[in-house]
């Protein structure tokens, strides 16, 4: 009764969130623009609220290009925020760190349909130097180069991990 009244100024002043805050999900990209999601569906299996739907598809080996460096990619990716409890179990299940959580917490909307986020809504924006998929792999010579982080000259250097390490 004798304390000063605390007034929340939320719409006009937004408090910064903690660095490890679990907010909206984001599908990440490799530095050349290819998607990190390989369509394994482990995130959907790990979700206790059954809020994630993933359909994997095979990457084309012809000249049309690739969506991810692996054999597969996530053709359909949906997260239903009407069901999502923002627990982060999907993040822990992802083997390629394709799925992470941002600090964005404003997920309210006026219609139920707009709270089902599609792949285009979840993908990280293209940064300068990135190319919209589908296209050929640009960071290395093999899929292993992507996952080891070997890019450019490091992937082609003699004596690097990509050459001769499989012969053991």
Instruction: Report whether 106 contacts 11 (CB < 8 A).
Output: no
Query: Are 75 and 147 within one domain?
Result: no
> Rounded to 5 degrees, what are φ and ψ at 52?
-115, 135
Task: Please state which of the ranges 24-28, 84-88, 104-108, 132-136 shows the lowest mean pLDDT.
Answer: 132-136
Range of the domain at 154: 138-168
Query: Are 32 and 110 within one domain?
Result: yes
Query: Are 127 and 143 within one domain?
Result: no
Please give the tally of structural domains in the chain. Answer: 2
Tell me if 73 is assigned to some domain: yes
pTM of the prediction? 0.77
Query: Are 37 and 80 within one domain?
Result: yes
Tell me if 146 is assigned to some domain: yes
- CATH code, domain with 99: 3.30.70.3270
Query: Are 151 and 86 within one domain?
Result: no
Per-residue pLDDT tens over the stretch 132-163: 888 777 776 677 777 676 665 444 555 444 44
Q: What does the mean pLDDT of the chain come to?
A: 83
Query: Are 112 and 148 within one domain?
Result: no
Residue 71 CB contacts under 8 Å (≥ 6 apart), including other chains: 38, 58, 59, 143
């Amino acid at each position: 009764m004798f304390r000063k009244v605390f007034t929340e100024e939320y719409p006009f002043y937004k408090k910064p969130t903690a660095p490890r805050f679990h907010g909206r999900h984001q599908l990440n990209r490799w530095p050349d623009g290819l998607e990190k999601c390989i369509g394994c569906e482990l995130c959907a299996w790990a979700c206790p609220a059954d809020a994630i739907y993933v359909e994997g598809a095979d990457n084309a080996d012809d000249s049309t290009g690739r969506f991810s460096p692996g054999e597969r990619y996530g053709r359909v990716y949906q997260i239903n925020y009407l069901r999502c409890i923002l627990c982060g179990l999907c993040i822990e299940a992802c083997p390629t760190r394709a799925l992470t959580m941002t600090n964005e917490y404003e997920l309210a909307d006026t219609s139920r349909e707009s709270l089902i986020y599609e792949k285009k809504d979840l993908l990280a924006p293209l940064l300068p130097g990135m190319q919209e998929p589908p296209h050929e792999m640009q960071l290395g010579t093999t899929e292993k180069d992507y996952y080891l982080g070997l890019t450019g000259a490091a992937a082609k250097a003699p004596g690097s991990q990509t050459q001769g390490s499989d012969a053991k």
